[in-house]
A and B are shown apart, each in its own frame.
Chain A
Amino acid sequence: MKIKVTVNAIPYEREIEEHMTLLRFLREGLGLTGTKEGCGAGECGACTVFFNGKTVNSCMVLAAEADGAVIETIEGEATEGMLSALQSSFEKHFAVQCGFCTAGMIMSARELIHHHPHPTAEEIKEGLEGNFCRCTGYEQIVEAILDVTGSFVAKEVLTYV
């Protein structure tokens, strides 16, 4: 079947197989490999993208459902090579280690900030609950989001003994 879909403000018209997921369409159909597959079962959040302004696990959505939809992915987050404020805050706070969860994490963080412009640490943890990260332990991600939303209280990185 044929679908028309707008991804990161670029309109596409593509022939797809009916069983193809949105995740596979983005990665294999459009070459947007920044969005990752961590489990393929809607559990880990690595494949999170915006679908008509709301985040979805793109492994749980069929590409056919995206016909006529507006999709946003990590590739649309930076502008002409300039990191977004959210990305810059992740950079500053070392909120990235292996990087495999990062795209999904940025997407979920953006949605969280949309609903809570000034979230508390607890609201951030709640908002990121669907995104697994095995490397960072989340704390520096929480700090990055607190900082970009204006409520980060700077403290010593380490206590030296």
Chain B
Amino acid sequence: MYDTLDRSQLKNVGKSAVRLDVKEKLTGEAVYVSDMVLPGMLYAQIKKSPHARARILSIDTSKAEALRGVRAVLTGSELDYRLGLYVVDKYLLAKGEVRHYGEAVAAVAAESLQIAREAVDLIEVTYEVLDPVLNHMDAMKEDAPLVHPDLGSYDYIKAVFTPIPGTNIANLTKLRKGDVEQGFADSAFVVEREYDNPSVQHVPMETHVSIVKWGSGDRVTIYTSAQSPFTVRNLFCRTFSLPFNKVRVIIPYVGGGFGGKAGIHIEPLTACLSKKAGGAPVKFQASREEEFSLLPCRSALTYRIKTGVSEEGKILAQKMEMYWDAGAYADYAVNVTRASGYSASGPYEIPNAWVDAYTVYTNKPYGTAYRGFGHVEFHWGIERHMDLVAKTIGMDPLEFRHLNALRPGSITLTGEKITSHSGDVLACLDAVAKAIGYGKKSKEEKLREKESGLRIGKGIAILQKAPAMPSNTATAAIVKMNGDGTVSVAVGLTDIGQGSTTALAQIVAERLDFRLDQVFVKVEKDTDSDPYDWQTVASKGLIMSGNACILACKDLLQKGYAVASHVLKACVDDLGHDSEAVFVRHDPESRISWPQIALGYAYPDGKAIGGPLIGIGSYIAQGLSNLDKETGQGKPALDWTFGAHGIICEVNPVTGEYTLRKIASAFDVGKVVNPQLLRGQIIGGMLQGLGTAMCEGYIYDGSGHLLNPSFTDNKIPTAKDLPFEVETIAVENAQVDGPYGARGVAEHPMISVAPALGNAIYQAVGADLSHMPIRAEDVWRALHNKQPIDNWITKTPVGSCRSTPVLGSHSPSHALEP
């Protein structure tokens, strides 16, 4: 659709335009919610559950209420509001029962943070501790305690999700394509194994923080560090039955999100404190510890994959069972389950497929969206499994992927046909394979091995992801011309660091044919003045807001031309323009400058026409459909972005320690809008993926206490974890309906880093890993064929601890030994 021009003709798109917000951030001028103080502001603190599962017998708040400076105290008994994105299952404060360690049971607002802390300590809660259900596989058992006995009475989005009352299953997503049993019967080899990964934390550098004022007449103002102003507003209003136009959500600069600030989190509780305190603004900022346990994490996953392949190595059938650990509340986990369910095979063509993806309640901090939206987790399984299948049948993993990856004409799991415009995963794969010298070792590498005693391995992995979003996802843009001929752009998309303001400014400058310095896109969002955007999630911002900006530019130009045609006494079709003026194309001397018409044109005699030039662009996803609940067939994907990583890894065969020599990452981005911004997304996502791959994860004791809610005990990558060499590769097969051919790539760099590492380590030393993260001791254990220790719930064996690689065969002629 949108102006797909030759890259050589573009003036702004494709250039490394400097970030619009960089000076404010470099000087400390940028104001984040954590920096804000409002007149008369109170400070909130939260009393949290020390137990994973317990009945609340009593809460005594009298001492807290008596403390000088305390202005509001709340417990669950006063709040009858339930919240939930898809399944409405969470009280603002626990009522009757706590369901996870760190859950909010009472809240205080006081004149200082110190007083609020003291008050929280004075609240006395007595509990009857109950046995928690911690492991999501245990929670699937028939006799498991129910985390939500009332699941059957909860509201949920019925067109999309399927909770099963009387169980811990918050959602079951099913997909059926072809005849999977026949496919296995026709297969020469069948390979089955289970993969898993623990919960992890997003770790935005700015923790969740909100300031809410519940003003008179129920006019509510919310300043919040969030990704999606309109979703915060709309869900807030639904919770409290308020009209949307009475609640104003303002999002200034945001210190990182990564999915953890999608949806709605601490805003409603903070609002209730403000209301109870008589309308004074109340600020709540999560501590780093609360970020780990009060606020949500990424769900753990156990993924069982059974693959049947032909004699030639072509995948004929695949059965995929996903068990997602929602934790105590469904939040985004049910939709992660849905999005992962329909994408479960990764970028492979599977003629006969069967997916059952469960979201399982447990008594742990709950899961939410996290960069990749399930794809980081299940690609770990898929891409390790594809190497296992290739090894089993004696085929090189690269060759195996060439045989089975999606290509034009392939049919996806949901029945969508891949075209030449969908992007090229094999081009990405080949690019990274070349970049790491896959399949061979250079002279230097051989020498290094000889001299150091270390073993070098090279691993590859591919990936796919589409935006996981409602079929009617919409956005809009407003391009306003100022009196000097500059333009100011408003969109509801939030720049949480990804650089969208800059990229959109480039797109606007390109479409208007203006200089980049004439275009400004503001960072701060305000639901009262900015146009609607569904959410800043799903890597849909560039494509959807980009298209809305292009439409708004066209509208602005059309309106400008209409005025100019009167002034210049020329037909609209004869007009052209540049960054300074509108002119008659066959008579360029006949021109009217943009400033002269920007706010309306005044003739020499004083009479005026036109008015302020404002372009409006509305864009909605088109052609998408809800998936059939039984078969999973339909069209869920606005666009697919494909990619690949290749890793050169050096492993100590004695200790299991390893270092990364090189990582090469390639994505088919359609069209590069800003090379340096893209590179930042690729490297930043890659290192976040390495964190997941190498070290991050929640560790619980047998009672469900989170043992590592801090940076001391939950390491994230530092500069020293960077591979020695990083190569970033762009493949450009234009997205026909993307802005200048571009498609999203914000989440994708994090996906499939872990399996590329696992595959490289296997290749180096033969350590066959099925759960991540991969710590040195995991490599050592795999090398010595010892059972991996499940450190994620100590003393409670889970996931891959129980599973050993199963190399079975349904084909009598090719029985394989385990």
Interface residues of A (CB under 8 A from B): 27-28, 32-41, 43-44, 46, 73-75, 77-78, 83, 87, 90-94, 96-103, 106, 124-126, 128-142, 157-161
Of A91, A96, A141, A142, chain B has the most CB atoms within 10 Å of the CB of A96
B712 at the interface (CB under 8 A from A): yes
B244 at the interface (CB under 8 A from A): no
Cα distance, A143 to B585, chains bound together (Å): 47
Of A87, A101, A159, chain B has the most CB atoms within 10 Å of the CB of A159
Contact B719 A124 (CB under 8 A): yes
Contact B672 A158 (CB under 8 A): yes
Cα distance, A28 to B41, chains bound together (Å): 13
Which stretch of B387-395, B652-660, B729-737, B781-789 is in the interface? B729-737
Contact B711 A43 (CB under 8 A): yes
Contact B19 A91 (CB under 8 A): yes
Contact B35 A27 (CB under 8 A): yes
**29 A-B Cβ contacts within 8 A?**
A34-B29, A37-B34, A38-B206, A39-B711, A40-B287, A44-B288, A75-B27, A91-B22, A94-B680, A97-B256, A97-B498, A100-B206, A102-B25, A124-B719, A125-B720, A131-B718, A132-B205, A135-B680, A137-B683, A137-B688, A137-B726, A138-B722, A140-B680, A157-B679, A158-B728, A159-B435, A160-B732, A161-B428, A161-B431
Within the complex, what minimum Cβ distance (angstroms) separates B748 from chain A?
14
Contact B19 A96 (CB under 8 A): yes
The 8 A-B pairs of least Cβ separation, nearest first, read A34-B28, A99-B25, A98-B497, A100-B255, A137-B687, A137-B683, A97-B497, A43-B711
Known: A36-B34, A91-B23, A99-B21. A136 touches B683 (CB 8 A): yes
Within the complex, what minimum Cβ distance (angstroms) separates B73 from chain A?
24
Cα distance, A17 to B730, chains bound together (Å): 55
Known: A98-B256, A158-B679. A138 touches B687 (CB 8 A): yes
**Interface secondary structure of A, over-half rule:** loop
Within the complex, what minimum Cβ distance (angstroms) separates A62 from chain B?
15
Q: Would you list which residues of chain B between 20 and 61 have a CB under 8 Å from chain A?
A: 21-32, 34-35, 37
Cα distance, A139 to B676, chains bound together (Å): 12
Known: A74-B27, A159-B431, A161-B730. A126 touches B711 (CB 8 A): no
Contact B716 A132 (CB under 8 A): yes
Identify the closest chain B residue to A99 (Cβ): B25
In the complex, which residues of chain A have a beta carbon less than 8 angstroms from the beta carbon of B30? 99
Contact B676 A36 (CB under 8 A): no
Identify the closest chain A residue to B7 (Cβ): A160
B94 at the interface (CB under 8 A from A): no
In the complex, which residues of chain B have a beta carbon less than 8 angstroms from the beta carbon of A98? 25, 204-206, 253-256, 496-497
B332 at the interface (CB under 8 A from A): no
The contact of B205 among A28, A134, A142, A160, by CB within 8 Å, is A134
In the complex, which residues of chain A have a beta carbon less than 8 angstroms from the beta carbon of B29? 34
> How many pairs, one residue from A and one from B, have CB atoms within 8 Å of each other in the complex?
197
B727 at the interface (CB under 8 A from A): yes
Contact B26 A96 (CB under 8 A): yes
Within the complex, what minimum Cβ distance (angstroms) separates A50 from chain B?
14
Within the complex, what minimum Cβ distance (angstroms) separates A30 from chain B?
12
Binary A-proximity of B656-695 (CB < 8 A = 1, otherwise 0)? 0000000000100000100111111001111110000000
In the complex, which residues of chain A have a beta carbon less than 8 angstroms from the beta carbon of B594? none
Cα distance, A39 to B715, chains bound together (Å): 13
Contact B676 A87 (CB under 8 A): no
The contact of A158 among B21, B496, B729, by CB within 8 Å, is B729
Cα distance, A133 to B676, chains bound together (Å): 17
Known: A33-B35, A139-B683. A128 touches B710 (CB 8 A): no
Cα distance, A102 to B253, chains bound together (Å): 13
Contact B676 A94 (CB under 8 A): yes
Within the complex, what minimum Cβ distance (angstroms) separates B501 from chain A?
12
Of A35, A87, A94, chain B has the most CB atoms within 10 Å of the CB of A94
Contact A41 B719 (CB under 8 A): no
In the complex, which residues of chain B have a beta carbon less than 8 angstroms from the beta carbon of A77? 26-28
Within the complex, what minimum Cβ distance (angstroms) separates A74 from chain B?
4
Contact A159 B255 (CB under 8 A): no
Cα distance, A75 to B728, chains bound together (Å): 34
Contact B19 A136 (CB under 8 A): no
Contact A157 B27 (CB under 8 A): no
Contact B729 A137 (CB under 8 A): no
Contact A133 B205 (CB under 8 A): yes
Cα distance, A71 to B688, chains bound together (Å): 33
In the complex, which residues of chain A have a beta carbon less than 8 angstroms from the beta carbon of B28? 32-35, 73-75, 77, 103
Contact B27 A96 (CB under 8 A): no
Question: Can you name 16 extra interface pairs (CB under 8 A) apart from A83-B23, A135-B497?
Answer: A27-B35, A36-B206, A38-B288, A91-B18, A94-B16, A94-B677, A96-B22, A99-B26, A134-B258, A136-B680, A138-B722, A157-B728, A158-B678, A158-B730, A160-B672, A161-B666
Within the complex, what minimum Cβ distance (angstroms) separates B711 from chain A?
4
Interface residues of B (CB under 8 A from A): 16, 18-19, 21-32, 34-35, 37, 202-206, 253-256, 258, 287-288, 427-428, 431, 435, 496-499, 666, 672, 675-680, 683-688, 710-712, 716, 718-720, 722, 726-732
Within the complex, what minimum Cβ distance (angstroms) separates A67 from chain B?
21
Cα distance, A124 to B683, chains bound together (Å): 17
Known: A40-B288, A99-B497, A100-B255. A136 touches B676 (CB 8 A): no
Identify the closest chain A residue to B718 (Cβ): A129
In the complex, which residues of chain B have a beta carbon less than 8 angstroms from the beta carbon of A91? 18-19, 22-23, 26
Of B205, B254, B730, chain A has the most CB atoms within 10 Å of the CB of B205
Of A38, A77, A128, A158, chain B has the most CB atoms within 10 Å of the CB of A158
In the complex, which residues of chain A have a beta carbon less than 8 angstroms from the beta carbon of B35? 27, 33
Identify the closest chain A residue to B680 (Cβ): A94
Contact B680 A33 (CB under 8 A): no
In the complex, which residues of chain A have a beta carbon less than 8 angstroms from the beta carbon of B680? 94, 97, 135-137, 140
Contact B710 A43 (CB under 8 A): yes
In the complex, which residues of chain A have a beta carbon less than 8 angstroms from the beta carbon of B202? 134
Cα distance, A93 to B427, chains bound together (Å): 28
The contact of A106 among B26, B37, B684, B710, by CB within 8 Å, is B26
Within the complex, what minimum Cβ distance (angstroms) separates A85 from chain B?
12
Contact A137 B685 (CB under 8 A): yes
The contact of A34 among B27, B678, B688, B732, by CB within 8 Å, is B27
Cα distance, A146 to B487, chains bound together (Å): 36
Known: A97-B499, A98-B204, A159-B728. A132 touches B718 (CB 8 A): yes
Cα distance, A78 to B310, chains bound together (Å): 65
Within the complex, what minimum Cβ distance (angstroms) separates A78 from chain B?
5
Contact A87 B712 (CB under 8 A): no
Within the complex, what minimum Cβ distance (angstroms) separates A55 from chain B?
15
Cα distance, A50 to B499, chains bound together (Å): 30
In the complex, which residues of chain A have a beta carbon less than 8 angstroms from the beta carbon of B687? 137-138
Identify the closest chain A residue to B664 (Cβ): A159
Contact B683 A87 (CB under 8 A): no
Within the complex, what minimum Cβ distance (angstroms) separates A59 from chain B?
11
Contact B497 A159 (CB under 8 A): no
Cα distance, A35 to B32, chains bound together (Å): 11
Cα distance, A160 to B730, chains bound together (Å): 5
Identify the closest chain A residue to B690 (Cβ): A137
Cα distance, A97 to B203, chains bound together (Å): 15
Contact B719 A140 (CB under 8 A): no
Within the complex, what minimum Cβ distance (angstroms) separates B41 from chain A?
12
Within the complex, what minimum Cβ distance (angstroms) separates B701 from chain A?
21
In the complex, which residues of chain A have a beta carbon less than 8 angstroms from the beta carbon of B431? 159, 161
Within the complex, what minimum Cβ distance (angstroms) separates A126 from chain B?
7
In the complex, which residues of chain A have a beta carbon less than 8 angstroms from the beta carbon of B727? 159
Contact B679 A41 (CB under 8 A): no
Cα distance, A102 to B183, chains bound together (Å): 54
Within the complex, what minimum Cβ distance (angstroms) separates B673 from chain A?
12
Cα distance, A87 to B27, chains bound together (Å): 8
In the complex, which residues of chain B have a beta carbon less than 8 angstroms from the beta carbon of A142? 719, 722
In the complex, which residues of chain A have a beta carbon less than 8 angstroms from the beta carbon of B31? 33
Contact B27 A83 (CB under 8 A): yes
Cα distance, A128 to B718, chains bound together (Å): 8
